Amino acid sequence: MAITKYTRVYRKKACSFCKTKNDPIYKDVETLRNYTTERGKILSRARSGTCAAHQRKLATAIKRARILALLPFVPKI
């Protein structure tokens, strides 16, 4: 077994919603776009840095915005 000289220490991203003490709202489309990929998929907690509670609320807000046609389900080709 090889022992490496250096180990990487990863810092966990802080939840932006916890910092501002806000919840994700389906009407705030510009904020919701930051949490979706260009293909329209919802980003995971590991990539977005949100906490578990806000990730659930974020997913619900994105889905509501999609149903109201504020966000697309799929991108235009």
CATH number, domain containing residue 46 = 4.10.640.10
Cα 73 from chain centroid (whole Å): 16
Q: Is residue 44 one of the residues assigned to a domain?
A: yes
Question: Which residues face 36 on adjacent strands?
Answer: 42
Per-residue pLDDT of the chain (77 residues; tens, 9 = 90+): 566 677 777 777 789 999 999 999 999 999 999 999 999 999 999 899 999 999 999 999 999 999 999 999 988 77
Among candidates 3, 76, 75, which has minimal Cα distance to 37?
Answer: 75
pLDDT at 19: 94
pLDDT at 1: 59
- In the chain, the number of structural domains is 1
* Contact present, 35 and 58 (Cβ < 8 Å): yes
Question: Which residues face 42 on adjacent strands?
Answer: 36
Token digits of residue 31: 């904020």
Distances (CA, A) of 72 to 24, 29, 37, 67: 17, 11, 11, 9
Asked whether the whole model's pTM tops 0.85, one would answer no
Q: Is residue 41 one of the residues assigned to a domain?
A: yes
